[in-house]
Amino acid sequence: MPDTPSPHPPSAPVILGNEPGSFPHSVLAERHPAIIRQVRDAFPYGPAQHRALDALLAGCTKGVVEPLPVDAHDRARWEAWGMAECVGRSWYDIPWLWSESYFYRQLLDAVGHFGPGPWQGIDPFRPFKLAELDSPETDEELAALGALSADDLDRALLHGSLWGNRADLGFRLSAAHAGSADTAPGLVADDSETLWSLLPSTGAGTLCLIADNAGRELIPDLLLIAHLLERGRIGRAVLHIKPYPYYVSDATTADVLDALRRLTGARRAAVDYGRVLWSAMADGRLALRAHPFSAAPLPYADMPDDLRGELATAALTVVKGDLNYRRLVGDRLWAPTTPFGDVTAHFPGPVAALRTLKSDVITGLAPDTEAALVAAEGQRWRTGGTHALIQVRT
């Protein structure tokens, strides 16, 4: 249940990537090289791009953080985001959140995404996102929509959006040996009643949904938004997406458009949801927002005033996924029973986290829940993607 924030915000060590054998270390040492390989194989890049990818691979695994060029379009932004404190240090010794975020910034640069030039704007992750969107699993999920009874819809669509977070593509690169979610499903925290109380059936407020992955996560996020608009639980929705490709599968504007076309091109129930969303975009009841801070290497406690002001007016902000959870509560090694209300007291309005567990960060667990997880799985439950949570701070 939501808890009352204590007057003194708690603290815990910031997560770094420098402990061999830890999950953050494996992301820097193994996942990032795998992502470079995958991207390199997916496009007929030219020699300059291959050389830049080689340099990034050597730098991010064995070198130190290099500053952005003085004429980089976003140099001032990264300076404000703490570049000076990280430059010259090993990628492993700085906050893990910062290293990961900078890796994606540098990867896009290496393939020419920021231009100028013919590769400007090309998303290096697009082939993987499209493959997922076109997969038979997506067909099956959309076909199953029609079978849901009106009474089931709230719960089914909320859980679709929640468990859709398991589908992130970067995670799958290191999840091959994780247990199947079917053998150990389960919510480790479930504040869904509180969530629904913030979205009453006569609601006219705004829902902000801070999206995570494209494809099989974004589709259920969009279905949930359409449903809430149709049921009159919200008057308006703002979908916060990334301003550029990020963490492999994070949703951008292009991904929203692909997902919408997938829905409007589908059959039966799915197409109705697609039409609701299409017309909601046309009349302003659904807006997209690609704020630069959405791809910042910082916790949401540090969000800029314009974004803070915007989220403050929402009836509820739903924060999707693992990375956004890390940014919401702070990427720290919290004691798992640290109250969620305490670590999110900085957030400007009611906030709900919908997340499958894919990194060490966790807060808000009841002591017996933590004990049961540890007894059953050691610490694997933290990163395996087989558990999920719905946590709310009113």
Ligand X SMILES: O=P(O)(O)OC[C@@]1(O)O[C@H](CO)[C@@H](O)[C@@H]1O
Structure tokens at 182: 């079917």
Q: How many CB atoms lie within 10 A of CB 48?
A: 13
Cα 364 from chain centre: 19
**Given the complex with ligand X, which of 280 and 328 has the nearer CB atom?**
328
Q: Which of 307, 327, 171 is nearest to 249 (CA)?
A: 171
**Given the complex with ligand X, which of 119 and 325 has the nearer CB atom?**
325
**Given the complex with ligand X, which of 315 and 319 has the nearer CB atom?**
319
**Given the complex with ligand X, which of 192 and 213 has the nearer CB atom?**
213
**Given the complex with ligand X, which of 36 and 229 has the nearer CB atom?**
36
Return the residue nearest ligand X (CB atom): 358
DSSP state of 165: G
| Closest distance of CB 293 from ligand X, Å | 16
Number of Cα atoms under 13 Å in the Cβ half of residue 225: 33
Alpha helices (H) along the chain? 23-26, 32-42, 47-62, 75-80, 83-86, 96-110, 126-133, 136-145, 153-164, 169-174, 192-197, 218-230, 253-264, 268-283, 305-312, 321-329, 340-343, 367-377
Side chain identity, residue 102: Y
- Cα torsion 83, 88, 20, 32: sign: positive
| Closest distance of CB 11 from ligand X, Å | 20
Q: Which of 33, 29, 28, 76 is nearest to 53 (CA)?
A: 33
| Closest distance of CB 133 from ligand X, Å | 16
| Closest distance of CB 115 from ligand X, Å | 26
| Closest distance of CB 170 from ligand X, Å | 5
**Given the complex with ligand X, which of 49 and 165 has the nearer CB atom?**
165
Structure tokens at 202: 């006569």
| Closest distance of CB 50 from ligand X, Å | 24
**Given the complex with ligand X, which of 31 and 285 has the nearer CB atom?**
31
Contacts with ligand X, residue ranges (CB under 6 A) = 27, 100, 165, 168, 170-171, 212-213, 247, 321-323, 326, 358-359
| Closest distance of CB 114 from ligand X, Å | 22
